[in-house]
Amino acid sequence: MRTVFIVARKELVDLFRDRRTVALSLLLMPILFPALILGAVGLAESKARTQLEKTLRLPVIGAEHAPNLIRFLRAQNIEAEPAPEDPDAEVRAQTFDAVLRISPDFADNWRSSRSAQVELIYDSSREDSRIPVARVRGAIEQYNRTLAVLRTMHRGMSPEVLQPVRIAQRDVATPESKRGMLLAFLPYLLILSSFLGGAYLVIDVTAGERERQSLEPLLATPASRSAIMSGKILAAIIFGMLSLSLILVGFKVSLAVAPGSLRIVNPSWQLLFQLLLVLLPMVLIGTTLLTLISASVKSVKEAQSYMTVLMLLPMVPTFLLMVNPIKNQLWQFTVPFLAQNQLILRLVRGETVSFEEWAVYIVTSLVLGLILWIAAARLYHQERLAISA
């Protein structure tokens, strides 16, 4: 046990003397991640605001057939303009968000109180035209209702005949669950940085030390190999947790100074602490897995080539949940990455996590960490580990 602390202390001293590397890995993420998330959210918000408030220029085909509608649209801040030759192609080419076509028989139908047809041409697969299209559609529907009310009243009927059912909407989203929506990317970023945050350190202290030819004298000391390995793992876990804490504090600080709707989602210290608790087993799993890899490969380069695959792993549950959202069930807390993903989302949304769920999560991930640790220790005891190429 003493050996573990001796090795961990030496590795941390050694690491922290490498000022530039430490500064980059400890400070870059806490600045970059919040900037990324806040930047993305902020950008989306400001774009939505401009799309909602700016005068919308809408190409209209056959504007002359419905001057009243055009006037109504202008009152709704939608300005009609001459339409292009081939509206379908232009919309597909993203020149316009939407094009309105008013059929030539609009006026005739209108006068005889039949349904007059307008056609809205848009591309439903385009995310950024959603708001303009909704604006146009909303304006036309409002025009529709106004006219319907006028016509029924004109015929001496109550306008309520037109509304057999009336929908009242109530959004039960709490500020916390809106926070969850805003921070949809948070789980992936946190899981990735806990899983691979200390990666280069882990690779360096095993594969790197072997490549630099200092592992052989180290293993020739009476200190047990498992203890030496555990010391290296402990150092990486301490470093990983430090880096995660800084990232979380970075989030808290930047949310506190963030503009607009993000201000309301300022996380509490208790939440940050719970997030750290969720991520601790992930750090353990990542570190032991990388130690296992580093002890089995011939060089640092070979160890690093595993990184691409490892970076994709935490994405799997995020994608699965995006395509196929599943309700919370107990078994999910046993699956690495999925468990962290669900737990982080629930904590951030302000939902409670039961004792049972915590227990299942902590126990299964510690068991997984232990299995990886044993496997890595076995490799550490192999003869060829000490022998530098």
Partner 1 sequence: MIEVDNLHKTFQSKSGPVHAVRGVSFRAPDGQITGLLGPNGAGKTTTLRMLYTLMTPDKGSVRVDGLDAHRDATAARQRLGVLPDARSIYKRLTARENIEYFGRLHGLDKATIARRIETLAQTLGIDFLDRRAEGFSQGERTKTAIARALVHDPRNVILDEPTNGLDVMTTRSLREFLQRLRAEGRCVIFSSHIMQEVAALCDRIVVIAGGQVRAIGTPDELRATTGESDLENVFVRLTRSESES
Question: What is the number of other CB atoms lying within 10 angstroms of the CB of residue 5?
Answer: 14
Closer Cβ to partner 1, 164 or 222, answer by number: 222
Q: Rounded to the nearest whole angstrom, what is the least distance from the CB of residue 384 to partner 1 in the complex? A: 9
Closest CA to 310 of 226, 207, 183, 203: 203
Q: Within its chain, how far is the Cα of 310 from the centroid? A: 18
Using left for φ > 0, alpha for ψ between -120 and 50, and beta otherwise, residue 109 falls in alpha
Closer Cβ to partner 1, 119 or 216, answer by number: 216
Residue ranges that bind partner 1, judged by CB under 8 A: 2-3, 6-7, 10, 13-14, 17-18, 212-224, 228, 383, 386-388
Q: Rounded to the nearest whole angstrom, what is the least distance from the CB of residue 178 to partner 1 in the complex? A: 47
Q: Rounded to the nearest whole angstrom, what is the least distance from the CB of residue 182 to partner 1 in the complex? A: 42
Question: What is the number of other CB atoms lying within 10 angstroms of the CB of residue 121?
Answer: 18
Q: Rounded to the nearest whole angstrom, what is the least distance from the CB of residue 18 to partner 1 in the complex? A: 6
Closer Cβ to partner 1, 178 or 381, answer by number: 381
Closer Cβ to partner 1, 10 or 252, answer by number: 10
Closer Cβ to partner 1, 335 or 386, answer by number: 386
DSSP code string of 189-209: HHHHHHHHTTHHHHHIIIIIH
DSSP code string of 254-271: HHHS--GGGGGGPPPHHH
Closer Cβ to partner 1, 118 or 202, answer by number: 202
CA distances from residue 76 to 53, 55, 71, 144, 332 in whole angstroms, order as listed: 10, 9, 9, 14, 49
Closer Cβ to partner 1, 9 or 130, answer by number: 9
Q: Rounded to the nearest whole angstrom, what is the least distance from the CB of residue 226 to partner 1 in the complex? A: 13
Kind plus residue range of the DSSP H or E element containing 274: helix 269-296
Residues 6+ apart with CB under 8 A from 102: 60, 61, 62, 63, 65, 66, 69, 118, 119
Residues 6+ apart with CB under 8 A from 271: 347, 348
Q: Rounded to the nearest whole angstrom, what is the least distance from the CB of residue 304 to partner 1 in the complex? A: 20
Closer Cβ to partner 1, 208 or 369, answer by number: 208
Phi, psi (deg, nearest 5) at residue 56: -95, 125
Q: Rounded to the nearest whole angstrom, what is the least distance from the CB of residue 222 to partner 1 in the complex? A: 4
Q: Rounded to the nearest whole angstrom, what is the least distance from the CB of residue 4 to partner 1 in the complex? A: 11
Gap between the Cα atoms of 294 and 72, Å rounded: 69
Terminal-residue alpha carbon distance, the chain: 30
